[in-house]
Amino acid sequence: MKKIMVRLAIGAVLVSTGLAIGMMNSNAIEADGISSSPGSVEDPVVTKSYVDEQLAKLGGGSVGGGTTPGTDSALEVVTVPAGKTLMAGQGTEVIVRVGKAIAYSSDASGIADLTGGTDLTKGKAVPTNHLLLFPREGRGILPDPNQKNGLTVLVNGSYTLQ
Question: What are 111-136's pLDDT values in tens digits?
Answer: 888 888 888 888 888 998 999 998 88
Query: Is residue 106 situated within a structural domain?
Result: yes
Domain that holds residue 151: 76-161
Query: Is residue 53 situated within a structural domain?
Result: no
Average pLDDT over residues 8-29: 81
Residue 117: what residue type?
Answer: G
Q: Residue 10: is its pLDDT beyond 90?
A: yes
Query: Is residue 54 situated within a structural domain?
Result: no
Residue 134 forms beta bridges with which residues? Answer: 92
pTM of structure? 0.53
Distance CA 158, CA 114 (A): 18
Contacts of 126 (CB under 8 A, 6+ apart): 96, 100, 101, 102, 103, 111, 113, 120, 132, 141
Query: Is residue 70 situated within a structural domain?
Result: no
Distance CA 6, CA 70 (A): 78
Distance CA 155, CA 93 (A): 6
Q: Structural domain tally of the chain?
A: 1
